[in-house]
Amino acid sequence: MAAETKTASITRRAVLTAAAAAGAGFAGGVFTSSADASDSDDGVAIVRQLTRKTPVESDRVHLVMPSKFPNGYTVPLSLEIDSPMTEADHVRQVRVFAPRNPLIEVARFHFVPQRSESRVSTRIRLAEPQYVLAVAEMNDGALLMTKTWVEVATNGCA
């Protein structure tokens, strides 16, 4: 009886998949560490940790989301920032954070003065009930923030 030899077959796809999984695990660990700070739902501390700047709660940022939604897979989000969008006063970018998600930053939008309106609508995923934070970076570097509580029945990040 001849002895069979088994050889390991490593494909390029397997190597790339392993590298991506390792990178995602590393990034997930970096982002998840700041989720511990969200237990107190202190949005200012979370944003300061992620941006290295202190945000100011503002009524110029309007974040509209349902207070209760049946699942966390496609939660609607509508966002508008009161700004004339001129060279002297405009929104550079808006970042949306969900501190209890595996990846905290769920969206980022860039705006151009005199060429875009400072509003956007989309859908995001939420892992569990939590405060969702919207942070607008203005042209002078100021961070304007608002937050809203969203209750989801099922995990959208599984």
Task: Single out the residue of 55, 54, 46, 59 nearest to residue 130, CA to CA.
Answer: 46
- Domain 12-152: give its CATH code: 2.60.40.2470
Mean pLDDT of 44-54: 86
Per-chain mean pLDDT for the chain: 81
Q: State the Cα–Cα distance between residues 104 and 46, nearest whole angstrom.
A: 10
Task: Summarize pLDDT for 68-97 with one digit per residue, the tens.
Answer: 999 999 999 999 999 999 999 999 999 999
Q: Is the pLDDT of residue 46 over 60?
A: yes
Q: Is the pLDDT of residue 36 over 50?
A: no
Q: Where are the domains of the chain?
A: 12-152
Comparing 92 with 22, the larger pLDDT belongs to: 92
Task: Work out the pLDDT band at 52, boundaries 50, 70, 90.
Answer: confident
